[in-house]
């Protein structure tokens, strides 16, 4: 599976980056490709390209706040979860997405 994600927490620091790392680790352990964009206090980092978005099977919004650029994801399958889900249960989240996409 090819996954793209955006992570953004209320303070734009800790949970944003922890969620990113946990998502990457969980997805790669299950054999998936993933790229995670962060939107935080220092702006957008690792911005997703239109090609990366186009090739994605699913978009994960691991967000606690409103983000910019959501129009880029129109027409894509998306899931929105709070960052703490990615921090506390990233493997379960990836497994749930796998199940939903295989229905």
pLDDT tens, residue by residue, 75-101: 999 999 999 999 999 999 999 999 998
Residue-range definition of the domain harbouring residue 76: 2-101
Which member of 4, 9, 34, 97 is catalytic? 9
Q: E-strand spans in 1-103? A: 2-8, 33-40, 43-45, 58-63, 78-81
63: β partners: 8
How many domains is the chain built from? Answer: 1
Best CA proximity match to 6, nearest among 25, 18, 20: 20
- The C-alpha atoms of residue 75 and residue 79 are separated, in whole angstroms, by 13
Whole-prediction pTM value?
A: 0.95
The full DSSP string for 79-96 is: EEE-HHHHHH-HHHHHHH
Q: Is position 9 annotated as part of the catalytic site? A: yes
Give the domain CATH number at 53.
Answer: 3.40.50.2300
Mean pLDDT over 7-30 rounds to: 94
Q: Could you tell me if 74 and 51 are in contact, meaning their C-beta atoms sit under 8 angstroms apart?
A: no
């Amino acid at each position: 599976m090819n996954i793209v994600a955006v992570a953004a927490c209320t303070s734009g620091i800790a949970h944003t980056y922890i969620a990113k790392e946990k998502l990457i680790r969980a997805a790669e352990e299950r054999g998936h490709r993933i790229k995670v964009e962060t939107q935080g206090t220092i702006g957008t980092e690792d911005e997703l390209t239109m090609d990366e978005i186009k090739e994605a099977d699913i978009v994960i919004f691991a967000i606690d706040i409103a983000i910019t650029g959501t129009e880029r994801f129109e027409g894509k399958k998306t899931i929105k979860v709070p960052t703490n889900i990615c921090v506390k249960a990233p493997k379960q989240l990836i497994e749930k997405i796998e199940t939903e996409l295989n229905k």
